[in-house]
Structure 1
Amino acid sequence: MKPLIVLLGTFIISITVLKLVRNTIDYRLAGRIAMAAMLTFTAIGHFVFIDGMKAIIPDFLPLKTEMVYATGILELVFAVALFYPNYSVLTGWALIIFFIAILPANIKAAMHHINYQTGATNGHGLTYLWFRVPLQAFFIAWVYLSTLKQVQ
């Protein structure tokens, strides 16, 4: 829920600032700014909640600590790359693949009631998937609209 609040809040602020500064609204730019803010926010969790993040990684994957750090760094790289026009298409597709790739971790967290902050089994459980899976699809659509869809 927090990433969604960061995404939408930053989007609204970006639209407002763009209107005040440029006297126009660039929804795609505001969308990329918002996605970059959200990715930065979620990346911080990879460095603050290491044990919890390790606990949600599917069991068959090795090097869990390294994977937590790597995905956090990758989110930061994506956040920066969103602002380089030459890389926007590549970044957009890479982010879509990334959002699909991390879905199993969210499914594991829900199935085993894992709290992503602590690693304890007092998380939200399966009802969380009713929110998380559509949210993941929303993030994918957001990336598509702000980086890949051609303006007509």
Structure 2
Amino acid sequence: MKPLFILLLTFLVTVGVQKLFFKTINYSLSGRIAMCTMLLFTALGHFVFTEGMSKMIPNFIPLRSSIVTLTGVLEIMLAIGLLLPNYVKITGWILILFLLLILPTNIKASLENLNYQTGNYDGKGITYLWFRIPLQLFFIAWVYFFTLRK
């Protein structure tokens, strides 16, 4: 819920700032800034909650903590790429692929009632997927709309 709140709030603030100071609104830029901000926020979780997030990755995959750290770095790189005009399109496609690839980890965490912040198995469980799966699709649509659609 926090990433969605950050995404929408940042979008509204950037639209408001553009309207107030520039009298015109570049919605694509606002959408990319909002996604950039959200990605920086979620990347932070990869460094703060590494142990819990490692449990989201299937056990047969080695170096799970390293993967969590590397995906945090990837999120930061994607956030930056959204703001570099020459890299927006490729960043958008990579980000959509990334969002698709991490969905199974969210499903696994929900099925196991994993609370990735604490690393305990007292999370929201399967009902969380009723929110998380549409949210992931919303993020993918957001990226497509603000980076790839022309």
> TM-score band, normalised by the shorter chain?
over 0.9
Paired residues, number: 150
Partner of 1:131: 131
Stretches of structure 2 that go unaligned for 5 or more consecutive residues are: none
Percent identity, aligned pairs only? Answer: 57
Partner of 2:45: 45
Q: TM-score, normalised by structure 2?
A: 0.98
Partner of 2:143: 143
Distance 1:134 1:58 in 2: 22
Q: TM-score, normalised by structure 1?
A: 0.97
1:133 aligned partner, one-letter code: I
The alpha carbon displacement at 1:134 in A equals 0.4
1:105 counterpart = 2:108: no
1:114 aligned partner, one-letter code: L
| 1:1-152 paired onto structure 2 within 5 Å | 1-150=1-150
The alpha carbon displacement at 1:58 in A equals 2.0
The answer (yes or no) to whether the contact 1:6–1:38 under 8 Å persists in 2 is yes
2:104 aligned partner, one-letter code: P
1:61 aligned partner, one-letter code: I
Distance 1:98 1:55 in 2: 18
2:131 aligned partner, one-letter code: F
Following TM superposition, where does structure 1 have runs of at least 4 consecutive aligned residues deviating by more than 4 angstroms? none
Distance 1:41 1:104 in 2: 21
Distance 1:81 1:47 in 2: 20
Distance 1:67 1:141 in 2: 25
1:44 aligned partner, one-letter code: L
CA RMSD, aligned part only? 0.7
Stretches of structure 1 that go unaligned for 5 or more consecutive residues are: none
